[in-house]
Amino acid sequence: MIVCRRLFQGLFAAATLVASVANAQSGTAGPVATVAGALQFVQEGSAYVAQIDGQPFDRVNSSRLRHFDDTSGAHEAVARMLVEEGNGLVLYDFRRKPPAVERIGRRLRIDSVYWQRDEAVLRTGEGWFRFQRGTLTKLTSSKTIYH
């Protein structure tokens, strides 16, 4: 009985973790359906201009585009997006109008993003990080399970 219970708990935790990953990595310039409207990255020289429904709201200084999407919006629309740029990372929160733009002043090569209600947990080659309320924190070993 105990073995079955532990097996069920392990399977449930694994299924929950896989279901919460929602890190839909993409290199596409768009259009991307967001909760704020259609997002398009328009190349302008060696940078991209981020536009919602044709209205610019940010400039991404990078020659390549790589983003991780939180598809928790209605009809799997993107609610938040983490974009790698030349100077670091940028978090877009499309749940706000106009979209909130938060710059993370550290360059990281992201492997995956685990979206939580009020935070993003990043798995990188340098370890695990949490971005919450404008602060990037390196995580240390703990028993916290992200799902």
State how far the Cα of 85 lies from the Cα of 89, in Å rounded to an integer.
6
Task: Identify whether 55 is part of a domain.
Answer: yes
Residue of 119, 138, 118, 120 lying closest to 128 (CA atoms): 138
Task: Identify whether 8 is part of a domain.
Answer: no
State how far the Cα of 32 lies from the Cα of 25, in Å rounded to an integer.
12
Task: Identify whether 76 is part of a domain.
Answer: yes
Output the average pLDDT for the chain: 81
pLDDT in tens, 39-77: 999 999 889 999 999 999 999 988 888 899 999 888 889
Task: Identify whether 42 is part of a domain.
Answer: yes
Neighbours of 5 (CB within 10 A): 9
Given a contact cutoff of 8 angstroms between Cβ atoms, the answer to whether 84 and 66 are in contact is: yes
Confidence of residue 87 (pLDDT cuts 50, 70, 90): confident
**Helix/strand/coil percentages in the chain, nearest 5:** 15, 50, 35
Number of domains in the chain: 1
Structural domain including 72 reads: 21-138
